[in-house]
Chains A and B, each alone.
Chain A
Amino acid sequence: MDLDLDASTLEFQAEVRSWLAAHVRPLSSMDTAQGFEEHRSWERLLASERLSVVSWPSSYGGREASLLQWLVFEEEYHASGAPGRVSQNGIFLLAPTLFAHGTDEQRARILPSMARGDEVWAQAWSEPEAGSDLASLRSTAVRCDGGWLLRGQKTWSSRAAFADRAFGLFRTGPGERHRGLTYLLFDLRASGVTVRPIDQLDGEPGFAEIFLDDVFVPDRDVVGEVGDGWRVAMSTAGNERGLTLRSPGRFTAAASRLVELYRKNPDPALRDRVVDAWIGAQAYRLHTFGALAQPLSGPAASVTKVFWSELDVALHETALDLLGEVAPGWRDGWLFSLSGPIYAGTNEIQRNVIAERLLGLPR
């Protein structure tokens, strides 16, 4: 599929490309205190050109870009080697939820500072006993004067080691499992919050445990209706699994790097795998362009999640095999890719969703 871009999209593409070429520079790992602040500054720089959230309304810091323009932005962004987005939990997961379920007051209060990187968000879904079985979560929010008191423990909270605020699900009752849950926002520096960073397999604290001991949340930080949190959260999960978090630009850029790597280290035994990875990235790109006509949502997002996460692992493994023991430049990407089939709902869960909800197979 060769896209004929209209004049304004071409102009936008040229602007983004030249701005990135002039501004992209390597940053330290965002999972270190210093690197996190470097990434926050990068978000501010993007925001100063209204490039941090191009698809959002201009009143919140965006440019009202179309989905096509957003895809173009993402392709340029990843092709330029620009830094990972420290704000991604907020802009790709919480923001779509606020657009769908938040109030005007919440959007006006939360989105502009998110777009500028002034507030970086962490997600707080999983608990030690509630991973794939998220509906078994036990952290509670208890009614109090003017709001709620949070109690319990969250884990695998990406970016929580250094982030400012978090969004998560809490049991408010009545009812069990998917019922009686509420979607709440809380301050990671509030009284009663203890954050314990967890070192990841690369040795850096990319995620954290969050202990909550009577943490106050005002009523204005309830998203959606009290007790309707599961439905609200699943709209976020669809975003995480679907294409917003993992745009094709990320994979087409990585596939191009892989092909370059092969040119420098040609190894006939790996040739087919390099081409397979490149084809996979192209296929994913075409799949997402298909979504321009028919947006992916709900269970269909599970299809993309399985595809991009397994493509990412295969792509990095091939690079590693080309490079040998030391694997400069690809090691961290490989280790990160391994978490793709796990987070945002494991691929085992996604396959259940595909089997049961798309194919109609019995539970």
Chain B
Amino acid sequence: MTPEQLALRDAVRSLLDKHSDVRAAIETPHGYDKAVWARLCDIGVLPIPEQHGGSGAGLAETRIALEELGRTLTPSPLLASTLAAHALLATGNEEACDRLLPRIADGTVATLVWPWDNGRTSLDGPARYVLDGDLAEILLATDGTDLYEIDLAGVTREHTPTMDQTRRLAVIHLAGAAATRLGHWSPAIRDVALSLLAAEQVGAAARALELTVEYTKTRVQFGKPIGSFQALKHRMADLHVLVETARSAALAADDEVAAAVAKVYCSEALFKVASEMVQLHGGIAITWEHDAHLYLKRAHGSGQLFGSPAVHLERLRAKI
């Protein structure tokens, strides 16, 4: 990381250490802490050029921020707004960029409706599992060929409760809504989405392992910290290998194949680490009060988001 990126990471981490409270956030009507989101926008984590009112951060900076948000499971509109902003930029439509990007940079929630398999789709059917779909004030959608701005007046949408309460998803019905064509849709958005998600997964996995290591250093049974037992030590060592290789996969996710690799590898890594977090904590991890189940449910939800590992494995099989 460059010195600027390190400073960005530290700023986000310090903000989240002080102000992120995932339990409180998921109890709010919108499912995220608006004050924390406003501060993240001030730090400038959205990849929006300065000429469009942004901080000039790129996707690399957004990935750094998402890794931090993953660590603390902080719900935020960053992933949804980033994808919308990126799709908009990719159209090269200066008028739309000038009009919408400054608002997104200021924290207005934006989201993107797109087919995860990058196929053709109709804008008339219901779109499921749309990130922040019921909250977004700026709604962009693609039919797989072009990108459209959707007039919210004709849209019906509802929150979809899923296992992972830390991520907001919704069903959106676009039939009957006015759509304005903004430009061409760039299929590479999918690879961007997968790489951003992978960064978030790596953050969650790294933190889940840290919390587990901490716990096994302090929990005493048979007169010793349980982390001193080789049966547990080796498992955590294996998890460390998994987290570090997942981090490499996420960092390298800058083309179609590498993004698919990152999606599969990081999904499986986070699920493994979160599952082991439960097992290595024992009974306490079966409680609502302990955060292990939040990591586990996030792991499941993230695995399914933008297509399951199985779907991307199939795609890789055809590519390689």
Contact = CB atoms under 8 A, between A and B. Distances in A.
A144 B58 CA distance: 74
Contact of B308 (A132, A321, A351): A321
Nearest to B293: A201
A324 B267 CA distance: 13
A342 B292 CA distance: 14
Nearest to B311: A269
A112 B126 CA distance: 56
A49 interface: no
B310 A131 contact: no
Interface residues of B, number: 38
Given A198-B289, A338-B275, A136 B221 contact: yes
B252 interface: no
Contact of A129 (B163, B220, B292, B303): B220
Contacts of A201: 285-288, 292-293, 296
A283 interface: no
B286 A339 contact: yes
Contacts of B229: 348
Interface of A: 126, 129-133, 136, 155-156, 198-203, 207, 267-270, 313, 320-321, 324-327, 331, 335, 338-339, 341-343, 346-348, 351-352
Contacts of B278: 338, 342
B287 A126 contact: no
Contacts of A326: 160, 162-163
Contacts of A203: 288
Contacts of A321: 303, 308, 310
A204 B229 CA distance: 32
Nearest to B280: A348
B301 interface: yes
B231 interface: yes
Nearest to B220: A129
A313 B220 CA distance: 27
Given A133-B222, A200-B288, A348 B232 contact: yes
B282 A342 contact: yes
Contact of B283 (A156, A313, A348): A156
Contacts of B300: 320, 325, 327
Minimum-distance CB pairs A-B, first 9: A269-B310, A201-B293, A199-B288, A133-B221, A325-B304, A156-B283, A133-B222, A324-B304, A339-B286
B15 interface: no
B314 interface: yes
Contact of A341 (B164, B232, B279): B279
